[in-house]
Amino acid sequence: MLRTVLNSGGGRLCRLPSLLPHHRLMSGSSVAAIFFQPSLPADPATAIQSAGIDLSHPNTIPALLVHPDLASNYPAASRFFSWAASHDAAVLNSKCFNSMLQLAAANSDAAHFWSLVSSMRSKGYGISKTTLQAATESFRSNGMSKDADMIQKAFSAHARNAAVAEACEILRSDPNELSKLDKLNELGVEVTDEMVALVVEKVGQFPRQAMVFFNWVEQSAGAGINWGKVYNAMAKIIGREDCIEEFREVLQKMSSKEVGLDKEVYAILIDRFLKRKMFEDAVDLFRFAMGGTEKPSAQDYVFLLKKLVVRDDMDLKLVMRVVRIYQKAGNEVKSSVFDAVIKSLRSVERLGESGRVLKAMEDGGFAPDRTVHGKAVLAMCDAGNLETAHKHLARVEKSGHKLDPLVWSALVQKYSLGDDVDMAVSCLPEMLERRSGNQVGSALEALVYGLCRKKEAKEAFKVLKDLVLKKDVVPWQSTYKYLIHKLIRQGHLKEAFDVLGLMKSNGFPPYINPFITHILKSGTVDDALGLLNAMSSEEFPSRTVYMRLFQGLFKEGRHEIAQQLLSVSPGSVQNHADVLDLFYKMKIEEPTAANSHLA
């Protein structure tokens, strides 16, 4: 049996004296001869067996690799090892790989060296201390310092992985916590933050085991450990509902050591807490993170607020806390944040809560401007929460803000479309308390539109007339025009005529097209006289209107109505040349039309 012991020194491959029979020593020469040429013989296995070499023995290949004839011929040794690796009968154990590593390093073959290291890792083999020393010396003596440093790291990584595996085995197998601690102490390994992170990651599904390990780390770690990495690794694992008390304890220890949460860990934990509906813990985590060096971003702040306002049982105290925490950390709460909140509320059909959410944000230190308040009111109006919207609007304006008239308009329109017209009307005097009469046009138009859509144009006229005559309100011209259309359609012609007078008082030109269209189609002589009386003025001679009516009536074939209207017209109209010409032509055309019909 071949028995070798590998040792190193001076960058050379060495072996301790061994008592080997002469024919066994000759076997190394035989292998060297077989693999001397790049092209192998047809059947190397038979040749090796003929030499009396048993490759199935675990010590055979390591002994052959240090045989002078093979060790001094690196290409032959390399070819032999590669062949053995593909031959089922050959046993390649950790000793074999370590022996070949020494040869590769001694011959400056870094590519083959690291390929062997990779193969060893896949098989679970590690680099021995002897190989580490020999390979390091070989690399340094050959000017390969980079590889020398890399093998040191590889050896450390292997040692660390071995320690991690053993620690995990202790944590999983022993049910007694004190016994676990004793066995961990017996490991005799250096506690590093990398080792801690690896162990915690592997036992992460069992937080209690992680806590036992963490307690041991606190007792055993040296001064060089990076507590930031250790605590963050631990917080990431135990930040869950079934060990929340332990998690809070870890945060307290982090505070005492002035260690903050990494951004990556914060993102993982906040997402976990929110998905598991641990909202208070999420806010506590946000507060802790805002006190560290890697503070949550503005996007993180908005994300948390949005999650809080869409939860089933919204807690406004948590909303207030988040805003206060963020602002106390020296951040400005921008108006755009409320836009994001409104969007979230809309997504869960909870716009009616906009006012309450905004109030909670105010209590937390947010100072909304008139635009933000307006958005809250509009959101509540969209949700049909009109009473709350009205109260919010009134409170804000009393505090000194003047909201956009369009906000009042939205509220008024919603009231008028509902069953509370009185409330819609009452909004206008409130507006007038802080605005002049020409600043309520949009709200008044909203009221008129709302009432007319409910077929209450006559009521809309009464409200408008009262405001114009008693409150000096100046409606928009578009409001007058819309109201005239609706009054005529709903059969309130007299009131529509009165609107023309109100328009005149506000300096608007008369709007007669809807009247003329109505009269020509189905109106009476009295209807025509009503329009003419309303239109009489120096700026707009009624004679012009007479002509439009006469021409239109003839065109519609309503000759009798045209004659009746002419008979009650003033003499200045009856004797006007244009009027006389028009009626004369119609008299001539009538017999012609009659004869054509008879023919």
- Is residue 229 in some structural domain? no
Average pLDDT over residues 495-511: 92
Higher pLDDT, 160 or 5: 160
Contact 56, 91 (CB under 8 A): yes
Q: Over the chain, what is the mean pLDDT?
A: 82
Of the CA atoms within 13 Å of residue 154, those in its CB half-sphere come to 24
* Rounded alpha-carbon distances, angstroms, from residue 37 to 76, 450, 543: 7, 102, 126
Indicate the number of domains in the chain. Answer: 1
* HSE, side-chain direction, 13 A CA sphere, residue 7: 8
| pTM across the whole model | 0.64
Range of 23-32, 95-104, 251-260, 418-427 with top mean pLDDT: 251-260
Phi then psi for residue 15, to 5 deg, are -140, 150
Distance from C-alpha of 337 to C-alpha of 318, rounded to nearest angstrom:
16
Contact of 31 with 51, CB cutoff 8 Å = yes
70-93 pLDDT, tens digit per residue, is 778 888 888 888 887 777 767 778
| 127-154 burial: b if 16+ Cβ within 10 Å, else e | bbebbbebbbbbbeebebeebbebbeeb
Whole-angstrom CA distances from 388 to 232, 397, 438 are 46, 14, 27
In tens, the pLDDT along 463-500 reads 999 989 988 888 999 999 999 999 999 999 999 999 99
Token pair recorded at residue 140: 């340094």
Q: Cα–Cα distances in Å, from 27 out to 23, 215, 326?
A: 7, 57, 78
DSSP assignment of 496-532, as one string?
A: HHHHHHHHHHTTPPP--HHHHHHHHHH--HHHHHHHH
pLDDT for 593 beyond 70: no
Alpha-carbon distance of 218 to 185, in angstroms, equals 12
Distance separating alpha carbons of residues 478 and 262, to the nearest angstrom: 60
Q: How confident is the model at residue 591 (pLDDT cuts 50, 70, 90)?
A: low
- pLDDT, one tens digit per residue, over 541-577 is 578 889 999 999 999 999 999 999 999 988 888 888 9
Tokens of 71: 């060790």
For residue 2, pLDDT over 60 is answered with no
Q: Say what the pLDDT of residue 154 is.
A: 72
What DSSP element (H or E) covers 15? strand 12-15
- For residue 301, what pLDDT is reported? 96
Please say whether the dihedral angle defined by the alpha carbons of residues 376, 378, 384 and 390, taken in this order, is positive or negative: positive
* Residues 153, 159, 164, 165, Cα dihedral to 10°: 130
User: CA dist 70 to 75, 129, 150, 210, 542, Å?
Assistant: 9, 23, 27, 50, 127
pLDDT at residue 587 in the model? 79
CB 495 within 8 A of CB 489: no
The answer to whether 457 touches 487, Cβ cutoff 8 Å, is yes
599, pLDDT greater than 60: no
Q: What is the pLDDT of residue 388?
A: 93
Tell whether 51 is covered by a domain. Answer: yes
pLDDT, average across residues 31-49: 73
pLDDT > 70 fraction of the chain, expressed in percent and rounded: 88
Sort 507 into a burial class: Cβ within 10 Å, 0-12 / 13-18 / 19+: exposed
Give the Cα separation of 553 and 563 in Å (integer).
Answer: 10
pLDDT of residue 426: 83
In a domain, 519, yes or no: no
Structural contact between residues 359 and 324, judged by C-beta atoms closer than 8 angstroms: no
270: in domain: no
Structure tokens at 392: 């919010």
Q: How far apart are CA 500 and CA 534, in angstroms?
A: 7
Residue 231 lies in a domain: no
Mean pLDDT in residue range 267-285: 95
Instruction: State both tokens at 231.
Output: 């605590």
Q: Is 14 helix (H, G, I), strand (E, B) or coil?
A: strand
> Hunting for tokens 């290291």 — which residue is that?
117
Q: Map residue 319 onto helix, strand or coil.
A: helix
540 pLDDT band, cuts 50/70/90, is low
Instruction: Give CA 1 to chain center in angstroms.
Output: 69
Mapped onto helix, strand or coil, the DSSP state of residue 9 is strand
One DSSP character per residue, 259-318 reads: ----HHHHHHHHHHHHHTT-HHHHHHHHHHHHTSSS---HHHHHHHHHHHHTSTT--HHH
* 36 belongs to a structural domain: yes
Q: Which of 55, 8, 46, 5 is nearest to 28 (CA)?
A: 55
Domain that holds residue 121: 1-6+30-143
Supply the pLDDT for residue 441: 83
Confidence at 3, pLDDT banded by 50, 70, 90 = very low
Residue 119 lies in a domain: yes
Distance CA 31, CA 25 (A): 11
- The whole-number pLDDT of residue 89 equals 64
Task: Report if residue 170 sits inside a domain.
Answer: no
- The alpha helices in 435-472, defined as continuous H runs, are 441-453, 457-471
The C-alpha atoms of residue 525 and residue 527 are separated, in whole angstroms, by 5
The pairing of beta strand 12-15 with beta strand 6-9: antiparallel
pLDDT digits 0-9 by tens, 318-364: 999 999 999 999 999 999 999 999 999 999 999 999 999 999 999 99
